Amino acid sequence: MSDAALDIAGLRARLAGSRARAHRLHRLHRLLRHCGLVVLCAAALYPLLWMVAASFLPEDEILTAISPIPKSWSLHNYTAGWNAFDVSFTRFYLNSALIAAISVVGNVFASSLAAFAFARLRFPGRGLLFGLMLLTLMIPAHVTLIPQYVLFQNLDWIDSILPLVVPKLLGCDAFFIFLMVQFFRTIPREIEEAARMDGCSPWRIYRRIIMPLSTPVLATAAIFSFIFTWDDFFGPLIYLSSTENFNVPLALRAFAGSDEGSSLGQLFAMATLSVMPVFLVFVFCQRLVISGAAGLGLKR
Amino acid sequence: MRAGVLGSRRRYRDTWAAYGFLAPWLAGLLVLTLGPLAASLYLSFTQFDLLDPPEWIGLENYRQMATDPRFWKALRVSFTYVVLAVPLKLLAALGLAMLLKQGLRLAVLYRALLYLPSLLGASVAVALLWQRVFAGDGLLNHVLAAFGITGASWISDPRYALDTLVVLAVWQFGSPMIVFLAGLQQIPRDLYEAAGLDGAGAFRQFRRITLPMLTPVIFFNLIFQTIEALKAFTQAYVVSSGTGGPTDSTLFFTLYLYQEAFAHFHMGYASALAWVLMSIIGGLTAVMFAAQRYWVHYDE
Amino acid sequence: MARGQLIDVEKRYGRHSVIHGASLDLPDGELTVFVGPSGCGKSTLLRMIAGLEEIDDGLFLLDGEPMNDVPPARRGIAMVFQSYALYPHMSVRQNLSFGLETARTPRGEIAAAVARASRILRIEHLLDRKPRELSGGQRQRVAIGRAIVRQPRMFLFDEPLSNLDAELRQEMRVEIARLQKELATTMVYVTHDQIEAMTMADRIVVLREGRIEQVGTPVALYDHPDNQFVAGFIGSPRMNFHGAVVTSVDGSAVTVALTGTTTQIAVPVAAQAAAIGEQLVLGIRPPNLHPSGQGDAEIAVEITLVEQLGGNALLYGRTEAGVDLVAQEPGHSAAQRGERRVFGLPSAQCHLFRHSDGLALPRRRS
């Protein structure tokens, strides 16, 4: 019996040693992973960091700078670039903001109306219309582009924000409708049934019950709608022709093609500013953005 | 009898309410989607330059396409882009999702940082940046020079211009990566434990458990990214300054369509191109959906 | 077939110990059941045996060999998970062969092993189906089959029946016990259901908050619980407990008065354990509490509830001290709510526990 006891003590000592070694190996493994990820992140973000850094440098230094940290700091490019056009960037930002504001509100509101009908109301033709809505997801914008252009031309809406904004007010983004339908379906039916028994009309149910409970999906839809709208280039390219109506992406591109645009520093400064709104939204609403992006792929 | 009246009244009320809720979307559907869809099909058989009314020419546009070298070039460019960008992007996304999935500390931070390119990537700002990074005297060549390597004039070289756009696409792996991460999290942990008990090492576990169970997510990402790649426009437009050059090497199909419609005002021809694009997208999607039962595993 | 030993095994999460110095023998060929309330560490201990959790201190030996650092696949242990963990994209046949394929077993041997396992578990007709096409009970058989196929030295079951409905649970309980006898393997089985433990185990290990409270055969735990926790955990309906104070001690028994009542009873326990005036807890199981007063002492109760179960009845009586006692009466009971009754206490079946730490006063073996 005492032999066995000695044996045990010896075994425990050996095990403690091998366990410590295994822990060290594990920690090394983890360190390597962290290093790999840091390198990857740095490489991925390098172009962006360089652009931001370069925007603070005077012109002659930019051509040779490769460091993501600026050697000198100057806001010259920002102030110069902002007013480089005869139309200052303030105007462009206001245009973009107006388009974004109306589009986001319109999109979220109109989509929620349609989504509510699809998710919660019973009516003839629901299946058919829902299928039709899903099919419209497949239609690329280019197919409807030309007739829409002709239509807007006949309405004399060219060179205004109306062609960009009105479709949003009519809930033309089936993507958001689909997103909301999925969410509404998770709200327990019993809540609505109780409301119906209390005599609530569908509109009241929508306004007082479904909408307040849907803040997550509405926020997600608003955020993504904002991002798409702010960065929208193709639509404005086609419909906005005069400079003072440009949105920020369009203005940025025009800036790049102009004489002033040969100043790399000013271009980068304006480019940095143009992504700031989206970046800030991301920083403050990070969790919503990422879970929204993930949710896309999983609701099938 | 009374119940029947009440019953039909309730369904009646729902129907009216439903169409009320759907009114904006229905209006948009008819006026901005279905109407233009039919109109563009019609236009594809006409010659139309916005000034004079459309003139019926039958299949002439389609015949012209078949012999138009730019048409075939655009198709080749778009297909090359899709074939290169999509698999590489998904591989990067999956690889990084696997690196991030093991509950590393700071995983949330890495995830956000790696998602950032994806968030900002579609913007004009980034496209302009890309132009300056891959220019003959751009950032990449400066960095390579520090290692003693002379880089080519990437975006001005017909051999490499498209590749710079592929790199831009793959750089935005963050979005499908997030989807993969969510899919990975849904695989029950005890499957891996059971496999471990069965003697399976990390590689075997990846091949026999992770991959098969990820197939629905892979499928979704594949379709989504392919369609997005076929619809890509802004990057090609900005990087090539609207030309699709050098020598049409970055002439995405959508860019070609845009040029035909809004630079040359061949609206009828452009409509035909749009329908070809939609057919390609539809056809590819149909093929992928049909093929899924051979390789996609769905859980109940 | 193998003999397992746990020696002073510890598991810590940070500073916090989840398993405190557990020592245990897992005899060859026996079915040992780990049982205890949720959070007691029974699953953790099982997973440490499997190799899915690291052992922070102490030893786990299998046939004398230390297994702490041996990866799970090489311990020769198979496990049936609570959720079955069947590979959903593989057929039943592929699920069964997966482990053997990984070990590069020749195809003929794999086929033979799969055939044998599926015959024992009667799932031969399901071999080409996918898990999602199977019922809960069928999935469980496949999970067990996957374990059998590898002919392990030891089987581990982690609450395998908790996902099944009551009827199926009873059926599978019998099956698993039968299987163990047929295969004559060492099995460790984790459950929170003490009825499963009592019916299936060769030995029961009762755990609470990471400590082993008692190890013994079902009957031993039932008749001779080491402490109040085990006494109250094992046996259904639960043992009755009543506060008691020691009034006198002599060579053969300790006499206690049930607090708040006039009842006194002399219980045959080792006298040196108790002092006069000491606070104790008296325990008596419902089947042993006589519903009509026969016994060595009586206690007056007022009936608050009668549960007629058909084969027997449970009478809930409240003592003058306000404590509810449950007596079990065979057949149908004529008792009525509000009725005044007298329950009988047989001293030989009474247990005494120290109020301070719940330890049982050891009985005098007569």
Which has the minimum average pLDDT: B1-15, B30-44, B269-283, C102-116?
Answer: B1-15
The pLDDT assigned to A62 comes to 73
**Do C224 and C147 fall within a single domain?**
yes
Q: List the structure tokens of C93.
A: 């046949």
Q: What pLDDT does C144 receive?
A: 93
Out of A51, A146, A170, name the one closest to residue B27 (CB): A170
pLDDT value at residue B7: 52
Q: Taking CB atoms and an 8 Å limit, are A253 and B104 in contact across chains? A: no
- Across the interface, do C85 and B198 touch by the CB < 8 Å criterion? no
Q: How many CB atoms lie within 10 A of CB B22?
A: 23
Question: What CATH number is given to the structural domain containing C330?
Answer: 2.40.50.140
Does A231 contact B124 at a Cβ distance shorter than 8 Å? yes
Please name the member of A114, A147, A249 whose beta carbon is closest to the beta carbon of B36.
Answer: A147
Number of structural domains chain C divides into = 2
* ipTM higher than threshold 0.90: no
> pLDDT, tens digit, for every residue of C197-227?
999 999 999 999 999 999 999 999 999 999 9
Question: Integer distance in angstroms from the first to the last C-alpha of chain B?
Answer: 43
Token couple for C43: 């699953």
Pair C180, C52 in one domain = yes
pLDDT value for A261 = 59
Yes or no, beta carbons of B110 and A41 under 8 Å apart: yes
Given CB atoms, is A8 within the 8 Å cutoff of chain C? yes
Give the best residue of C48, C81, C156 to mutate against chain B (max B CB count within 10 A): C81
Chain C residues in contact with B195 by the CB 8 A cut-off are 87, 98
Instruction: Report the pLDDT averaged over residues C254-258.
Output: 89
Question: Is residue C350 very low, low, confident or very high in pLDDT (cuts 50, 70, 90)?
Answer: very high
H/E segment holding residue C214 = strand C211-216
How would residue C156 be classed by pLDDT, with cut points 50, 70 and 90?
very high
pLDDT of residue A23: 86
- Is the bond preceding residue C237 a cis peptide, omega within 30 degrees? yes
Q: What is the pLDDT of residue A1?
A: 43
Q: Are residues C73 and C190 in the same domain?
A: yes
Same domain for C110 and C153, yes or no, is yes
Q: Does any domain span residue C198?
A: yes
pLDDT at A300: 38
Q: Are residues C208 and C294 in the same domain?
A: no
What's the half-sphere exposure (Cβ side, CA atoms, 13 Å) at A105?
5
Q: For C7-52, how does the pLDDT look when each residue is reduced to its tens digit (9 = 90+)?
A: 889 999 888 889 998 999 999 999 999 999 988 999 999 999 999 9
Domain B67-295 has CATH 1.20.5.510: no
Q: Which residues of B touch C103 (CB under 8 A)?
A: 199
pLDDT over 80 (residue A15)? yes
Q: Where are the domains of chain B?
A: 2-43, 67-295
Residue B2 has pLDDT above 50, yes or no: no
Residue (of C318, C13, C358, C51) closest to C208 by Cα position: C358
The domain that holds C214 is classified in CATH as 3.40.50.300
Residue-wise pLDDT for B201-245, tens only, equals 889 999 999 999 999 999 989 999 999 999 999 999 999 888 887
**Which of B239, C179, A174 has its CA nearest to residue B255?**
B239
Q: What is the SS3 assignment for C7? A: strand
pLDDT at A296: 62
Within a domain: C330: yes
pTM: 0.86
Write out the E strands in B20-146: 46-47, 55-56
Q: What is the mean pLDDT of residues C245-274?
A: 85
Kindly state the tokens that stand for B77. 């460019």
- Distance (Å) from the alpha carbon of C24 to chain A's nearest alpha carbon: 14
In a domain, C87, yes or no: yes
> Which of these, B278, B246, C69, lies nearest to A21 by C-alpha position?
C69
- Whether residues A22 and C66 touch (CB distance < 8 A) is answered with no
Chain A residues 12-31 within an 8 A CB cutoff of chain C? 12, 15, 18-19, 22
Percent of chain C, pLDDT > 90?
A: 54
Angle, helix A2-54 to helix A264-284, in steps of 10 degrees: 140
For residue A197, the model assigns a pLDDT of 85
DSSP state of B263: I
pLDDT in tens, C328-346: 999 998 888 999 989 999 9
Residue C1: predicted pLDDT: 66
Q: Between residues 43 and 72 of chain A, which touch chain B (CB distance below 8 Å)?
A: 44-45, 47-48, 50-51, 63-64, 66
Q: Does any domain span residue C129?
A: yes
Report the gap between the CA of C88 and the closest CA in chain B (Å): 7
pLDDT digits (tens, 9 = 90+) for B150-177: 888 888 888 889 999 999 999 999 999 9
Chain A residues whose CB is inside 8 A of the C11 CB are none
Asked if pLDDT for residue B280 goes beyond 80, the answer is yes
Residues of A (79-108) whose Cβ lies below 8 Å from B: none
Domain end, chosen from C180, C206, C233, is at: C233
> Does residue C315 share a domain with residue C175?
no
pLDDT at A260 over 70: no
Domain region containing C24: 4-233
On whether both C37 and C185 belong to a single domain, the answer is yes
Tell whether the model's pLDDT for residue A127 goes beyond 80: yes
Using a CB-CB cut-off of 8 Å, the residues of chain A touching B43 are: 146-147
Q: Are residues C217 and C154 part of one domain? A: yes
- Label residue B135 by pLDDT band (50, 70, 90): confident
Q: Tens of pLDDT along A162-189?
A: 999 998 888 778 888 988 998 898 888 8
- Of the residues C233, C258, C281, which one is the last residue of a structural domain? C233
- A32 touches B at CB < 8 Å: no
pLDDT of the residue at B9: 57
Same domain (yes/no): C185, C249: no
CA distance C41 to C13: 12
Residue of A nearest to B50 (CA): A150
Whether the per-residue pLDDT at B274 is higher than 90: the answer is yes
Nearest residue of B to residue C52, measured between CA atoms: B193
Strand-pair category, C279-284 with C340-345: unpaired
Q: Are residues C207 and C327 in the same domain?
A: no
Per the model's pLDDT, the better-predicted residue between A8 and A271 turns out to be A271
What's the confidence (pLDDT) of residue A238?
92
Which conformational region is residue C155 in: left (phi greater than 0), alpha (psi within -120 to 50 degrees), or beta? beta
What number does CATH give the domain A83-298? Answer: 1.10.3720.10
Residue that finishes a domain, picked among C233, C262, C277: C233
Nearest CA in chain C to B192: C85
* Residues in chain B within 8 Å Cβ distance of A184: none
Three-state DSSP class for residue C158: strand
Q: What is the mean pLDDT of chain A?
A: 85
Instruction: Say yes or no for a CB contact (<8 Å) between B197 and C83.
Output: no
